[in-house]
């Protein structure tokens, strides 16, 4: 039986840390950022951990496929 392919759309949007945490970027960073406060701009630079059932589904799509 051949290997299962990874879902490329998911693998481009999410990264897996060494301890199997699912990491994503915050949204809304492409344009219209000049109107936002400095605190908002700075907070968007940080990555966020995905939790719960969604994280499990993402791990299945990336790692086990």
Domain 8-62: give its CATH code. Answer: 4.10.410.60
- So what's the pLDDT on residue 63? 79
- Which among 65, 59, 45, 64 has a CA at the least distance from the CA of 14? 59
Q: Where are the domains of the chain?
A: 8-62
For residue 45, give every residue at least 6 positions away whose Cβ sits within 8 Å of its Cβ, in sequence order, or none: none
Model confidence over 1-58: pLDDT tens digits? 788 888 999 999 999 999 999 999 999 999 999 999 999 999 999 999 999 999 999 9
DSSP of the chain: -PPPPP-HHHHHHEEE-TTS-EEEPPS--SS--TTS-HHHHHHHTS-EEE-HHHHHHHHHHHT--
């Amino acid at each position: 039986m051949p290997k299962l392919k990874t879902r490329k759309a998911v693998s481009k949007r999410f990264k897996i840390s060494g301890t199997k945490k699912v990491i994503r970027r915050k949204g809304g960073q492409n344009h219209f950022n000049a109107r936002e406060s400095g605190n908002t701009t700075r907070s968007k630079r940080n990555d966020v951990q995905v939790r719960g059932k969604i994280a499990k589904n993402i791990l299945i799509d990336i790692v086990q496929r």
